[in-house]
Chain A
Amino acid sequence: MIHKVITKNEFKKFVDGLIEENQTFGPKQVDKRADGSGIYQFKEVNSYDDMDLDYTVTYSSVKNFFLPFREELSSFDFSDKGWDQTVEYRVNPRVIIGVRPCDINALNILDKILIGGAYPSPYYMARRTNTFLVGMDHEPLDDCFCESLGHDTVHRGFNLFCTDIGDKYYLTISSSKAFGFLKNVKVADPVNGDSVKFHERRKYLRDSFKTKVEVAGLPSVLDIEFKSPVWKKWGDKCLNCGTCAMVCPTCYCYGIEETIDVNLKSSRKERVQYSCNLVDFAEVAGGHNFRPLKEDRLKYRFYHHYRGFAQNADDPICVGCNRCGRACLARINPKDVISDLQMED
């Protein structure tokens, strides 16, 4: 990993260069909440000034660039002789600017599951390898708790990471592509003062977390509290809308849909993001549902997120962005559910 510093002016030139040559996405304010705070999303941008790089957090996560809500896995062409299947997973290269550490950590977790598993996903892999990621840190919101899970800083999974040290950015370069592109602008080796500022910034950010979630021993708490009444209490509130899974940067469960095209000559097989809170998630032919109750499904989502699966080395997959908590109409959020569980005796 190579470190450099760049003035904010040069950085702007660098970003404009990237935008000029590539399809680029960056944070943009799309709406306002009643309290005046902005609602942000990653949108296609045409210049540096188009972006709101000082954003807090996007409503949806960057996951959607790698696991789109709906994605074609293959198509079938029918003929008199039968059919032919085509599998296509190429994507055009693109740049995403201003991704927060927790979101990059979320992608690293998805990498482990979707690339590192027994059956790597070529679709995800193609999107991941063809995306140039520029990360950037920021002060947390009051309800962010990524620090509790160790996801407030990130060491890999990006091409370039920028830490704000006043009039300059401290750059962490972790790919040859980024190194090559930076030859187009003036960058300098960090001097002592820069590194001091970098560490100060890190410490400042770490100290600004207001929400803490106690996660030590959580996997065993979840195993022990499998029958806890806490699940019913929170499950009863759940509307089974699936919003939490849609905004979550690490929820990746899906369903497959096959549809015949109107001309009856071809059909498409698509992967559609799903949520384990939706009623028919575990329903099988004949109508038997393995998780018939709201509490079963809500518990299962928490179980997956904080207990982890073998496929993920039994690590929790939640990164602590609290997007689910903010988006939930029933006010279900990880912090309250977990502290309720830990209060159980």
Chain B
Amino acid sequence: MDYRLPKQDINTEPFMRQSPRYNRKDVFMRTDKAYKCEITNIVELTPTEKLFHLKILSDQERRIFEFRPGQFVMLEVPGFGEVPISLSSSSNNSEYVELCVRKSGRTTNMLHRAKTGAKLGIRGPFGTSFPMEKMAGHNILLVAGGLGLAPLRAPINWVSEYRDEYKDVHILYGTKDPDQMLFTYQYEEWQKVDHIKLLTIVEKANKDWNGRTGMITDLFKDIDIKPDDTFAIVCGPPVMFKFVCDHLDGLGIPMNRMFVSLERRMHCGMGKCCRCMVGSTFTCVDGPVFDYWSVLNLKEAI
């Protein structure tokens, strides 16, 4: 008499729905196993934000890792936690990725104490991206509030690299006060080399600030927008992007030509933990990039 179940039977029983990736252990592992990286450089942008250059250590894994502007990775600080962070570098840079991280909790505080040479893990890339090809041949408005410049830097890099495919490109950037401005060392390059018009504004000036003060939408008065020939990417806190998108809607830019990146709590990045749900949509799989029309149609989005 034999009733013994085979040990470690990893074969599907006929009742199991066959998954196309099934039996491919490597693919499986990749979803929960992080690519090991080394911090090769750290740039202190502000007292609370740092830019980390991370190089994936294995040559093979580095070749596999490809992303598009707007996507994010799950950044693992072993022993402390895993957090979603937008890819902030150029998608053509296959040597290392750049992540701009604000110190805001348990994991990110720990990360800010890391030094060059430390090893971290990344999983991904995850999520949807900005349709950069679809925007070719048009004017582009890149609008960021605060930390929103971090995810916006990937499309900015894309536009600089393929500059002649786009017509007028504007970056509008607003922060609370001048000290919070990110990537200030790149502004000249963007304007002079890449011919991107950059306009900045702060809510509260300090004594060194001789630029504009006010709300980000004030900047729209300074530029000439052609509603039927313009695409917009807006990154920032929900109140800000709603404000900006409604303004652009008023100017006549179709809602499906405005793109925003949503932020929610995330624990997996793979559509399984449900922490990132907005209504019945997963921010990590169906987002984080949505066009504004879809956002308005999501229950609980704003």
Q: Is the CB of A76 within 8 A of B17?
A: no
- Bound form: Cα–Cα A90–B8 in Å: 7
Write the nearest CB–CB distance from B71 to chain A, whole angstroms.
14
Per-position contact with B for A77-106: 1 when CB-CB < 8 Å, else 0?
Answer: 010001101010010111100000000000
Asked whether B293 is an interface residue with its Cβ less than 8 Å from the other chain, the reply is: no
Pair B14/A311 contact, Cβ less than 8 Å = no
CB neighbours (8 Å) of A300 from chain B are 277, 300
Evaluate whether A130 and B33 lie within 8 angstroms (CB atoms) in the complex, with A184-B1, A258-B80 already known. no
CB-defined contacts of B32 to chain A, threshold 8 Å: 73-74, 87, 122
State which residues 241-284 of B face A: CB under 8 Å: 263-265, 267-268, 270-275, 277-282
- A78-B79 in contact given A128-B16, A129-B11 (Cβ < 8 Å): yes
Alpha-carbon distance between A191 and B14 when the two chains are bound, in angstroms: 26
Q: Is the CB of B273 within 8 A of A284?
A: no
Residues of B close to A309: CB separation below 8 A: 277, 280-282
Determine if A258 and B272 form an interchain contact, defined as CB atoms under 8 angstroms apart.
no
The answer on a CB contact under 8 Å between A174 and B17 is no
B10 interfacial contact with A, CB 8 Å: yes
| B21 cross-chain contacts in A, Cβ below 8 A | 120
In the assembled complex, the CB of B270 is this many whole angstroms from the nearest CB of chain A, namely 4
CA gap between A78 and B273 in the complex, in Å: 27
Contact (Cβ within 8 A) A252 B16: no
Q: Is the CB of A310 within 8 A of B15?
A: no
Report whether A308 and B121 are in contact in the complex, using a CB–CB cutoff of 8 Å. no
Q: A85–B10 contact, CB under 8 A?
A: no
Contact between chains at A87 and B29 (CB < 8 Å): yes
* A254→B266 CA distance, assembly (Å): 10
The one of B5, B22, B36, B286 that contacts A95, using a Cβ cutoff of 8 Å: B5
Total interface residues in chain B, CB < 8 Å: 59
Closest to A311 in B: B271
With contacts A116-B17, A304-B277 taken as known, whether A129 is within 8 angstroms of B12 at the C-beta atoms is yes
B265 touches A290 (CB 8 A): yes
Q: Does B2 contact A (CB under 8 A)?
A: yes
Known pairs A115-B17, A285-B105, A310-B286; A93 contacts B279 (CB<8 A): no
| CB atoms of A85 and B33 under 8 A apart | yes
CB of B81 closer than 8 Å to a CB of A? yes
In the complex, which residue of chain A has the Cβ closest to the Cβ of B74?
A: A256
Contact A181/B3 with A255-B273, A255-B275 known, Cβ cut-off 8 Å? yes
The reply to whether A111 and B299 contact each other, CB–CB distance below 8 Å, is no
Q: Are A304 and B270 in contact (CB under 8 A)?
A: no
Q: B281: which A residues are within 8 A, CB to CB? A: 309-310
- The answer to whether B273 and A254 have CB atoms under 8 Å apart is yes
**Minimum C-beta distance from A228 to chain B (A):** 13
Within 8 A of B (CB), among A261-303: 267, 269, 274, 276, 281-286, 290-291, 296, 300, 303
CB pair A174–B300 under 8 Å, yes or no, is no
B59 CB within 8 Å of chain A:
no
- Tell me whether A78 and B78 are in contact in the complex, defined as CB-CB below 8 angstroms, given that A118-B270, A119-B270 are known contacts: yes
Which residues of chain B are within 8 angstroms of A17 by Cβ–Cβ distance?
1, 3
Residues of B within 8 Å of A284, CB to CB, are 263-265
Query: What is the CA–CA distance of A123 and B279 in the complex, to the nearest angstrom?
Result: 27
**Measured between alpha carbons, how far is A114 from B15 in the docked complex, in Å?**
15
Q: Chain A's interface: helix, strand, loop or mixed, by majority?
A: mixed
A93 touches B5 (CB 8 A): yes
B residues within 8 A CB of A176? 13-14
- The reply to whether the CB of B199 lies closer than 8 angstroms to some CB of chain A is no
Is A117's CB within 8 Å of the partner chain B? Answer: yes
Residues 308-322 of A at the B interface (beta carbon under 8 Å): 308-311, 314
Is A119 a contact of B3 with CB atoms below 8 Å?
no
Within 8 A of B (CB), among A225-282: 226, 252-256, 258-260, 267, 269, 274, 276, 281-282
- B6 in the interface (beta carbon within 8 A): yes
The smallest C-beta distance from B191 to any residue of chain A, in angstroms, reads: 32
Q: Given A255-B267, A290-B265, A129 and B16 touching (CB < 8 A)?
A: yes
- Is there contact, CB below 8 Å, between A83 and B19? no
B78 touches A76 (CB 8 A): yes
Least distance between B175 CB and chain A CB atoms (Å): 16
The distance in angstroms between the C-alpha atoms of A73 and B17, with both chains bound, is 23
Instruction: Tell yes or no: A170 within 8 A of B by CB.
Output: no
Measured in the bound complex, the distance between the Cα atoms of B264 and A303 in whole Å is 18
CB distance from B109 to the nearest CB of A (A): 10
Given A74-B32, A85-B121, A175-B15: A258 in contact with B3 (beta carbons within 8 A): no
**Contact between chains at B15 and A157 (CB < 8 Å):** yes
- Chain B residues with CB under 8 A of A174: 14-15
Instruction: For the complex, give the distance between the alpha carbons of A117 and B33 in Å.
Output: 18
Among A18-26, A47-55, A143-151, the stretch that binds chain B is A18-26
Closest 8 CB pairs of A and B: A82-B119, A93-B5, A267-B79, A119-B270, A253-B274, A285-B104, A285-B105, A21-B3
A-B contact pairs, 9 of them (CB 8 A): A21-B2, A93-B6, A115-B16, A116-B19, A129-B12, A181-B2, A253-B275, A255-B273, A281-B275
Given pairs A83-B119, A120-B19, A122-B29, 6 additional interface contacts (CB within 8 A): A21-B2, A117-B271, A253-B275, A258-B80, A260-B79, A300-B300
